[in-house]
């Protein structure tokens, strides 16, 4: 990829179309990535279904291959990982630096080989990604932790079970420590564990490989170490954050969208907030439907660990509240820098001020088209929603972030009635009446072969 490709490739979104219809969300990114890392722990073959077709999965597959695993893709979102041939415990910086979730390979390599050398995750646009709880946990399990040339080197002659009390219910630390402990000698207890459904999915996957884990989904997880794990076939849970983005898309476009195949309880935090703004929210069996209303009320929210309002849906929710009738206050408690995208919404006519950890969102009657850039995955989701509701045609760059988290975005949106195309070419490309016929229409790029199911 040349260095300007990320700027040249854009989504062109024509505003003013209602989203209507139903969709089955892809597999959860935040379960798929640690589950792929967890496959390191067995010497057999792991067959994973409902793996999302996103670039983060490609990076994790490349990391596993660099360690010696064989990874095969099958049609329909199935990955086959054979970790028997892994012959390295050193994860390469060039790949790890692209993906914070790659730090999950540390626990898995420690669990299988008693040694892992993994570059320390740097910051990302959301701020520095701390791993102190991961490292203290590894030490509690009997490992030595050193920093050498920017990499964390974790070694243990024997990983031994221990009681680890997390100072915060960190999703990343809970997953990583489960991976390190499943093949340990003796029993491990993780207290103040994260409750997120993706943590439960990782635990359920480990159980499918022969691990002995109880308490996943509660704040105390107990793991009885086993000597070996075996291969298995496993289907990843649907992505509640992607589902939530589309449901907010229904609300912001005054549309009507049903997500199917997902336990609505996974989105209770979002459902409560949406209902309080006046949107109609209906949970039935394994489907969740949101119908937008012509005008909606403001609401005050605070992001929180599961089952609270998810930090990942904060940016799309702010896009929705930018059009509410009144002022909302949105407090971000998980990631300090999670309001970086607000400046882009301002360029679309939103009225938002950020002070400290709180955004004051004063609803405006309409948003207007603009050329904007997504600074991270969910901020990209927020800009797409704003563009769907805005007057005119908005161009969104930063697709390298959006493609990390949203599978087949434009195809799925088109199936729901949106007019969205992926384009490349020299900006600006949007045909405007005052520019006559001199504008070259964008070249449409189709990045994926497979059609959305
Ligand atoms: C976070 C979200 C998760 C979401 C994921 C993807 C929470 C609690 N976690 O998980 O729901 O799916 O992003 O965007 O909402 N921390 C430390 N030290 C550590 C580890 C974490 O101080 O060793 C801090 C982090 O800086 C952060 C908080 O704990 O403020 C939660 O972090 P964590 O849950 O680990 O983040 P992710 O795993 O990325």
> pLDDT tens-digit profile of 282-334?
999 999 999 999 999 999 999 999 999 999 999 999 999 999 999 999 999 99
User: What number does the ligand 1 atom closest to the CA of 168 have?
Assistant: 29
Is 60 exceeded by the pLDDT of residue 6? no
Which mutation among 168, 174, 338 tests ligand 1's pocket best, with the greatest number of atoms within 8 A of CB?
168
Backbone angles phi, psi at 310, to 5 degrees: -70, 135
User: What number does the ligand 1 atom closest to the CA of 134 have?
Assistant: 23
pTM: 0.92
Per-residue confidence at 449, pLDDT binned at 50, 70, 90? very low
Which protein residue's CA is at the shortest distance from atom 27 of ligand 1? 334
Q: How far is the CA of 79 from the centre of ligand 1 (A)?
A: 26
Which mutation among 128, 170, 378 tests ligand 1's pocket best, with the greatest number of atoms within 8 A of CB?
170
Per-residue confidence at 116, pLDDT binned at 50, 70, 90? very high
- Which residue has better confidence, 58 or 433? 58
pLDDT at 3: 52
Which mutation among 28, 334, 335, 382 tests ligand 1's pocket best, with the greatest number of atoms within 8 A of CB?
334
pLDDT at 112: 96
Q: How far is the CA of 171 from the centre of ligand 1 (A)?
A: 5
Per-residue confidence at 126, pLDDT binned at 50, 70, 90? low
- Which residue has better confidence, 7 or 42? 42
pLDDT at 431: 39
Locate the DSSP E strands across 120-231. Answer: 123-124, 127-128, 144-148, 151-155, 163-165, 187-191, 212-214, 220-224
Backbone angles phi, psi at 234, to 5 degrees: -150, 140
DSSP class of 237: P
Q: How far is the CA of 97 from the centre of ligand 1 (A)?
A: 17
Per-residue confidence at 120, pLDDT binned at 50, 70, 90? confident
Q: How far is CA 284 from CA 70, 175, 192, 242, 428, in A?
A: 41, 30, 31, 19, 45
Q: How far is the CA of 34 from the centre of ligand 1 (A)?
A: 14
DSSP class of 218: B
Active site residues: 124
User: What number does the ligand 1 atom closest to the CA of 241 have?
Assistant: 12
Q: How far is the CA of 175 from the centre of ligand 1 (A)?
A: 11
SS (H, E, C) 394-453: EEEECHHHHHHHCCCHHHHHHHCCCEEEEEECCCCCCCCHHHCCCCCCCEECCCCCCCCC
Ligand 1 binding residues, C-beta < 6 A: 30, 130-134, 168, 170-173, 194, 196, 305, 310-312, 334-335
Q: Which residues have a Cβ under 8 Å from the Cβ of 94 and sit 6 or more positions away?
A: none
Per-residue confidence at 125, pLDDT binned at 50, 70, 90? low
Which protein residue's CA is at the shortest distance from atom 29 of ligand 1? 170
Query: Residues 30-55: what's their mean pLDDT?
Result: 96
DSSP class of 251: H
Is 90 exceeded by the pLDDT of residue 386? yes
Per residue in 219-231, pLDDT (tens digit) is 999 999 999 999 9
Complete DSSP assignment for 263-325: -GGGGHHHHHHHHHHT-EEEEETTEEEEE--SS-----EEB-STTSB-GGGHHHHHHHHTTSS
User: What number does the ligand 1 atom closest to the CA of 136 have?
Assistant: 23
Mean of pLDDT over the chain: 91
User: What number does the ligand 1 atom closest to the CA of 133 have?
Assistant: 23
pLDDT at 337: 85
- Which residue has better confidence, 8 or 177? 177
Per-residue confidence at 204, pLDDT binned at 50, 70, 90? very high
Order across the sheet with 151-155: list the strands: 115-119, 151-155, 144-148
Is 70 exceeded by the pLDDT of residue 433? no
Query: Residues 433-451: what's their mean pLDDT?
Result: 34
pLDDT at 278: 98
- Of 116-125, 173-182, 197-206, 262-271, least confident by mean pLDDT is 116-125
Per residue in 320-330, pLDDT (tens digit) is 999 999 999 99
Per residue in 86-108, pLDDT (tens digit) is 999 999 998 988 888 889 999 99
Query: Residues 335-342: what's their mean pLDDT?
Result: 91
- CA-wise closest residue to 242 among 1, 17, 16, 29: 29
pLDDT at 181: 98
Q: How far is CA 147 from CA 71, 117, 152, 156, 178, in A?
A: 30, 9, 5, 15, 22
pLDDT at 428: 43
Look up tokens 């490739």; give the residue: 9
Is 60 exceeded by the pLDDT of residue 444? no
pLDDT at 447: 35
């Amino acid at each position: 990829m040349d260095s300007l490709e990320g700027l040249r490739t854009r989504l062109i979104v024509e505003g003013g179309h209602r989203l209507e219809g139903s969709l089955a969300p892809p597999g959860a990114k935040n379960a798929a990535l640690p589950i792929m890392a967890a496959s390191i722990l067995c010497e057999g073959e792991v067959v994973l279904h409902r793996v999302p077709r996103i670039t983060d999965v490609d990076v994790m597959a490349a990391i596993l291959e660099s360690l010696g695993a064989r990874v095969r893709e099958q049609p329909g979102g199935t990955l086959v990982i054979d970790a028997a041939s892994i012959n390295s415990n050193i994860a390469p910086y060039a790949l790890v630096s692209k993906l914070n979730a790659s730090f999950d390979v540390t626990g898995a390599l420690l669990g299988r080989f008693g040694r892992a050398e993994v570059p320390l995750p740097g910051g990302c646009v959301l701020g520095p990604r701390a791993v102190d709880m991961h490292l203290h946990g590894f030490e509690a399990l009997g490992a030595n932790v050193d920093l050498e040339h920017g990499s964390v080197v974790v070694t243990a002659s024997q990983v031994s079970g221990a009681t680890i009390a997390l100072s915060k219910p960190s999703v990343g630390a809970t997953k990583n420590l489960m991976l390190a402990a499943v093949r340990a000698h003796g029993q491990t207890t993780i207290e103040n564990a994260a409750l997120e459904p993706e943590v439960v999915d990782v635990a359920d996957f480990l159980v499918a490989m022969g691990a002995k884990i109880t308490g996943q989904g509660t704040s105390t997880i107990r793991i009885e170490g086993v000597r070996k794990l075996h291969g298995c076939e496993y289907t990843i849970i649907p992505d509640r954050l992607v589902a939530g983005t589309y449901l907010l898309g229904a609300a912001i476009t005054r549309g009507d969208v049903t997500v199917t195949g997902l336990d609505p309880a996974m989105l209770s935090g979002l459902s409560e907030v949406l209902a309080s703004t006046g949107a109609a929210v209906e949970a039935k069996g394994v489907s969740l439907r949101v119908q937008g209303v012509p005008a909606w009320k403001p609401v005050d929210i605070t992001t929180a660990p599961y089952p609270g309002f998810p930090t990942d849906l904060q940016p799309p929710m702010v896009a929705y509240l930018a059009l509410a009738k009144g002022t909302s206050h949105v407090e971000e408690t998980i990631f300090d820098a999670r309001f970086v995208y607000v400046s882009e919404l301002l360029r679309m006519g939103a009225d938002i001020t950020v002070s400290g950890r709180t955004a004051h969102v004063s609803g405006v009657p309409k948003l207007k088209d603009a050329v904007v850039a997504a600074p991270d995955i969910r901020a990209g989701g927020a800009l797409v929603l704003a563009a769907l509701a805005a007057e005119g045609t908005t161009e969104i760059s930063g697709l390298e972030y959006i493609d990390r988290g949203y599978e087949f975005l434009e195809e799925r949106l088109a199936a729901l009635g949106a007019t969205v195309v992926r384009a490349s070419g020299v900006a600006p490309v949007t045909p405007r009446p005052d520019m006559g016929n001199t504008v070259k229409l964008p070249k449409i790029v189709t990045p994926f072969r497979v059609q959305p199911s």
